[in-house]
């Protein structure tokens, strides 16, 4: 394992560090939009989930959705952040065909959530990433350019959906850290049920700010912002491309322009989209249709009291309760369903074996079948039963793998599979002694060689005994008996 952070990029004239800050847009899990009662379901017929508010008809007024506010507070608490009792909705003014209001309702100077932090488990130790803020805002609609050769269309289903923008401090230092950071955010929000984190459906997207500086330098370089990325793999590729592009500019004595860029994943490059607009270009001002959002401390406290166990807490508990290593615990808690599955197996069998069978055998099957743990072909109850069969010596670990294969195919009950297929371990010493003495009789020459010092042959005898018992002989017993008889 790599225990030292060493992500430095080589230019022609020296080494560089990359500095990364993320603006993550997370769609709030909510049946209704941020300021209207329209539905928010993904993949519906275009313009079938649009109210007069979302279409910005004259005179329509936004009404804040209390549930979305609660979701943002929950998420803020999950990010160990300060919840602000006073926040303001501002209008961010710009024109785009899929933005019927001509402005986006967002939060600017007074966001609902202030500074917080997220802990990353890296191979070289834990790293804390600062959270700058979390604010509420509405999503825009979607322009459709591929429906007709001569026209573009607009789908407003997404218009007005509630987003949380989570802004990190520029504390991320490698594509690997960015990947772990996004997964950690996603895991926290899934535990909280505040965002489903589905990047393919666009419920989690990120603007990625990248700059470089000479290794060891304390000053920040000029950043570029790569817009609207929804794949961790592409984000990592974009960071690498962008960092080297900036290094080359700097080494050629040119300046990095602060600008907005797009990543082209086919060409594996970022391209300039527009020069970066400054905040004042957007003419932010408080939305006169919405009052400031004032939250009672009691309201916040009540939400805090009802928070579920979060990934970091769960990890610590699994380490204490089940004596798991930090690494194992980290793998198991990465999503809520996996940890629930694990706890079910562990509580009903053996927690060390449970961790091995889950993270090695079952994960391999899920990977191969491209399935989530919630669609596991083996239920947690049945896996616990299988582990208990190993523990009470009904079957060996090796036969267990055969039984497991059968369980994967049929989700069958392991106890029944063992009986039906006659896989029960042979643990009767008398029977085994009989089998073994026959093997020794038939292999007199090998016994002689063994006794004159060729100890490697022991394995041969074990193998023969296993073959005779069709793999069902109790390996410990076979060992003991062989040792005794070969003396
Ligand atoms: P803007 O709206 O101008 O993009 P934000 O404050 O919303 O500004 O976001 C700025 C993001 O850029 C933050 O995530 C921050 O961590 C990051 N950032 C700021 N300075 C740098 C830098 N020099 N290099 C990389 N990222 C940076
Ligand atoms: Mg930005």
Confidence of residue 5 (pLDDT cuts 50, 70, 90): confident
What pLDDT does 168 receive?
98
Going by C-alpha positions, the residue among 76, 37, 58 that lies closest to residue 161 is: 37
Is the predicted pLDDT of residue 279 greater than 80, yes or no? no
User: Considering only 75-79, 179-183, 330-334, which range has the smallest mean pLDDT?
Assistant: 330-334
Question: What residue's CA is closest to ligand 1, atom 14?
Answer: 21
CATH number given to 429-485:
1.10.10.410
Mean pLDDT of 91-95: 96
Ligand 1 lined by 167 (C-beta under 6 Å): yes
Write b or e for each residue in 27-53: b if 16 or more Cβ atoms lie within 10 A of its Cβ, otherwise e. bbbbebbbbbebbbeeeeeeeebbbeb
Is the predicted pLDDT of residue 1 greater than 60, yes or no? no
Give me the DSSP letters along 441-458. Answer: HHTHHHHHHHHTT-TTHH
- Which of 135, 172, 209 for a ligand 1 pocket mutation test, highest count of atoms within 8 Å of Cβ? 209
Q: Is 224 strand, coil or helix?
A: strand
Query: What is the 98 CA–ligand 1 centroid distance (Å)?
Result: 25
Return the ligand number nearest the Cα of 181: 1
- Which of 170, 247, 256, 277 for a ligand 1 pocket mutation test, highest count of atoms within 8 Å of Cβ? 170
* Dihedral of the alpha carbons of 409, 414, 420, 423, in degrees to the nearest 10: 100
Is the predicted pLDDT of residue 34 greater than 60, yes or no? yes
Helix and strand numbers, DSSP H then E, in the chain: 16, 16
Phi, psi at 254, each rounded to 5°: -100, 165
C-alpha pair distances (Å), 449 with each of 154, 445, 482: 85, 6, 15
| pLDDT averaged over every residue in the chain | 94
C-alpha pair distances (Å), 356 with each of 352, 361, 362: 6, 7, 9
- Which of 223, 235, 282 for a ligand 1 pocket mutation test, highest count of atoms within 8 Å of Cβ? 223
Q: Are residues 130 and 168 in contact, defined by beta-carbon separation less than 8 angstroms?
A: yes
Ligand 1 lined by 224 (C-beta under 6 Å): no
Mean pLDDT of 8-27: 97
Going by C-alpha positions, the residue among 287, 229, 273 that lies closest to residue 102 is: 287
What pLDDT does 278 receive?
78
Pairing of strands 259-264, 103-106: unpaired
Mean pLDDT of 79-106: 97
Phi, psi at 272, each rounded to 5°: -65, 135
**pLDDT: is 306 or 394 the higher one?**
306
What pLDDT does 130 receive?
98
Question: What residue's CA is closest to ligand 1, atom 15?
Answer: 21
Mean pLDDT of 66-73: 98
Ligand 1 lined by 223 (C-beta under 6 Å): yes
Q: What is the pLDDT of residues 226-255, one digit of tens each?
A: 999 999 999 999 999 999 999 999 999 999
What is the location of CATH 1.10.10.410 in the chain? 429-485
Confidence of residue 2 (pLDDT cuts 50, 70, 90): low
Q: What is the pLDDT of residues 352-376, one digit of tens each?
A: 999 999 999 999 999 999 999 999 9
**pLDDT: is 279 or 402 the higher one?**
402
Confidence of residue 393 (pLDDT cuts 50, 70, 90): confident
What pLDDT does 281 receive?
87
Q: Are residues 185 and 179 in contact, defined by beta-carbon separation less than 8 angstroms?
A: no
Going by C-alpha positions, the residue among 31, 48, 53 that lies closest to residue 40 is: 31
Share of the chain above pLDDT 70, in %: 99
Using N-to-C axis directions, what is the helix angle for 66-78 and 175-192, rounded to 10°? Answer: 130
């Amino acid at each position: 394992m790599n225990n030292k952070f060493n992500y430095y990029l080589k230019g022609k004239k020296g080494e560089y560090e990359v500095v990364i800050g993320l603006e993550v847009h997370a769609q709030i899990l909510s049946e209704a939009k941020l300021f209207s009662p329209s539905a928010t379901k993904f993949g519906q017929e275009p313009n079938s989930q649009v109210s007069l508010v979302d279409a910005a008809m004259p005179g329509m007024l936004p009404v804040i959705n209390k549930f979305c506010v609660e979701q943002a507070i929950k998420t803020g608490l999950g990010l160990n952040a300060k919840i602000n009792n006073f926040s303001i909705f501002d209008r961010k003014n710009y024109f785009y065909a899929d933005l019927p209001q001509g402005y986006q309702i967002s939060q600017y100077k007074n966001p609902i959530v202030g500074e917080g932090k997220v802990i990353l488990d890296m191979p070289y130790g834990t790293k804390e990433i600062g959270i700058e803020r979390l604010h509420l805002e509405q999503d825009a609609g979607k322009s459709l350019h591929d429906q007709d050769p001569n026209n573009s269309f607009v789908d407003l289903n997404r218009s007005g959906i509630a987003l949380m923008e989570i802004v990190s401090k520029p504390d991320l230092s490698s594509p690997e850290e960015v990947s772990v950071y996004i997964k950690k955010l996603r895991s926290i929000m899934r535990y909280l049920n505040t965002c489903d984190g589905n990047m393919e459906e666009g419920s989690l997207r990120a603007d990625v700010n990248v700059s470089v500086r000479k290794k060891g330098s304390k000053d920040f370089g000029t950043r570029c912002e790569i817009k609207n990325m929804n794949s961790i793999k592409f984000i990592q590729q974009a960071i690498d491309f962008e960092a080297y592009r900036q290094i080359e500019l700097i080494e050629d004595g040119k300046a990095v322009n602060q600008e907005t860029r797009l990543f082209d994943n086919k060409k594996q490059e970022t391209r300039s989209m527009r020069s970066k607009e400054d905040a004042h270009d957007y003419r932010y001002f408080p939305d006169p249709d919405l009052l400031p959002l004032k939250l009672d401390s009691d309201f916040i406290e009540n939400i805090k009291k009802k928070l579920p166990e979060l990934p970091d807490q769960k990890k610590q508990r699994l380490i204490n309760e089940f004596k798991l290593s930090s690494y194992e615990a980290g793998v198991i808690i990465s999503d809520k369903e996996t940890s629930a599955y694990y706890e079910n197996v562990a509580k009903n069998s053996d927690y060390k074996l449970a961790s091995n069978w889950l993270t090695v055998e079952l994960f391999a099957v899920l990977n191969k079948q491209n399935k989530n743990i919630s669609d596991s072909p083996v239920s947690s109850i049945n896996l616990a039963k299988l582990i208990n069969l190993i523990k009470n010596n009904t079957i060996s670990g090796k036969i267990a793998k055969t039984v497991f294969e059968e369980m994967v195919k049929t989700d069958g009950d392991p106890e029944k599979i063992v009986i039906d297929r006659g896989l029960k371990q042979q643990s009767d010493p008398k029977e085994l002694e009989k089998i073994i003495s026959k093997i020794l009789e038939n292999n007199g020459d090998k016994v002689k060689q063994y006794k004159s010092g060729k100890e490697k042959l022991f394995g041969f005898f074990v193998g023969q005994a296993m073959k005779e018992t069709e793999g069902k002989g109790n390996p410990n017993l076979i060992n003991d008996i062989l040792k005794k008889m070969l003396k």
